Amino acid sequence: MSKPITITKIRTILTSPEKIPLVIVKIETSEPGLYGLGCATFTQRYLAVATAIDEYLTPFLIGRDVSQIEDIWQTCMTSAYWRNGPITNNAVSGIDMALWDIKGKVAGMPVYDLLGGKTREAAAVYRHADGKSLTEVEDNVRNYMEQGLLYIRCQMGGYGGRIDQIKSPEGALPGAYFDPHGYARNTVKLFEHMRNTVGHDIELLHDVHERLAPIEAIRLSKNLEPYRLFFLEDALAPEQVDWFAIMRNQSSTPVAMGELFTHPQEWLPLIQNRLIDFIRCHISTIGGITPAKKLAHLCEAFSVRTAWHGPGDVSPIGHAANLHIDVSSANFGVQEWWGPSDKIQEVFPGTPILKGGYVYPNDKPGLGIDIDEKLAAQFPCDNKDAVKDMWTTARTPDGGAWRP
């Protein structure tokens, strides 16, 4: 019987090529030259995740057999006793993805083959078209259409339709101010304009980003019905998911939900009761590839499709993990895509490539992606950027704090 390959070293690599802190986990093994990479990125609290990995998970895992992915995931999740929070989940995700990367390299197979093989050659993606006016959004949508995009998310003025002129009380605290009622009205106008100008041969999406009270989100969903959105994204906060039953009874606009989910009891009722059409969790924040693939299978049983979260605060390794699950899942819907810069692609060789409206995985073993550590070190993270990231400090005109 051959000697098992074991974990000999775990390191966190913190890098910020685009001024967005990324947390990368590197697991080195007893097999010379064999290592795996994972994404543990929680941009707003990245130092807490790095500490959880360096000070707690690393001593817990040194010497473990790298093939035991399921047992390692389960014991990492329960060894702290308290579980299912964004810090623990992201820390475990970094370990989990790196182990899948290693397993693929040992097998000489891409991770998608380990997950059952391809169900499609590439993943259809959507990009984000914003603008300060109807015509500016239209121009950006047309630009994406010319590039071959088949799905486009439309926003006007950012999340919540933020505007410069808001009358707030004297002494109101700083934040990302927005007018919920004005935002809801303008969003309906936006999609009326888009359908009248670019037509119905392109799939359009919209992200509420929890910027509305539940009853207003339901009203918006109803008012958007004539414009046939591919889906309405994150219309409610995780604390308000009971309202989805009312939304489903009131509107036929497809619903996507899950970006902020960290606990199975947040998504289970929505899936079991068929209250959403797309699940769009942030894979590292639910714990990595292991739980995400299980979640995809659960969704398949209830005809819910996947649309994993894919913004700039997911590392290219995390995007690669999304893609391997996408192409191996029968119930894949669409993938959010941020568009990696040349700088990102230099730091992370093997970053998946967008061609037309599709992103293609490479056929390298594992996740098919690497990191240039010397280059990554040239882009250190700055905790001030994470602490003072004002877009998460949403406020209504009277200065009250709002869930982002």
Q: What is the pLDDT of residues 57-93, one digit of tens each?
A: 999 999 999 999 999 999 999 998 998 999 999 999 9
Q: Is residue 2 assigned to a domain?
A: no
The residues pairing with 126 across neighbouring beta strands, listed in sequence order, are 151, 336
Q: Is residue 342 assigned to a domain?
A: yes
Q: Is residue 368 assigned to a domain?
A: no
Q: Is residue 23 assigned to a domain?
A: no
Among 60, 55, 67, residue whose Cα is nearest residue 29: 67
Neighbouring C-beta atoms of residue 384, cutoff 10 Å: 8
**pLDDT exceeds cutoff 80 at 20:** yes
Percent above pLDDT 90 for the chain: 88
Residue 233 in contact with residue 280, Cβ under 8 Å?
Answer: yes
Q: Is residue 175 assigned to a domain?
A: yes
Q: What is the pLDDT of residues 198-245, one digit of tens each?
A: 999 999 999 999 999 999 999 999 999 999 999 999 999 999 999 999
Q: Mean pLDDT across the stretch 334-346?
A: 96
Domain count, the chain: 1
Confidence of residue 165 (pLDDT cuts 50, 70, 90): confident
Active site residues: 159, 209
Say what the pLDDT of residue 177 is.
87
**pLDDT exceeds cutoff 80 at 391:** no
Q: Is residue 253 assigned to a domain?
A: yes
Q: Is residue 139 assigned to a domain?
A: yes
Say what the pLDDT of residue 167 is.
83
Beta-strand ranges (E) seen in 80-223 are 123-129, 151-154, 176-177, 203-207
Cα(33)–Cα(40) distance, integer angstroms: 22
Cα(307)–Cα(281) distance, integer angstroms: 8
Q: Is residue 292 assigned to a domain?
A: yes
Task: Look up the domain containing 257 and give its range.
Answer: 113-363
DSSP characters for 182-203? HHHHHHHHHHHHHHHHH-SSSE
Among 363, 275, 267, 372, residue whose Cα is nearest residue 323: 363
Tell how far CA 336 is from the center of its chain. Answer: 7
Among 25, 24, 21, residue whose Cα is nearest residue 43: 21
**pLDDT exceeds cutoff 90 at 161:** no
Residue 129's domain is classified under what CATH number?
3.20.20.120
- Taking all residues of the chain, what is their mean pLDDT, rounded to a whole number? 95
Q: Which helix (H) or strand (E) holds 38?
A: strand 35-39
Say what the pLDDT of residue 403 is.
80
Say what the pLDDT of residue 65 is.
98
Confidence of residue 156 (pLDDT cuts 50, 70, 90): very high
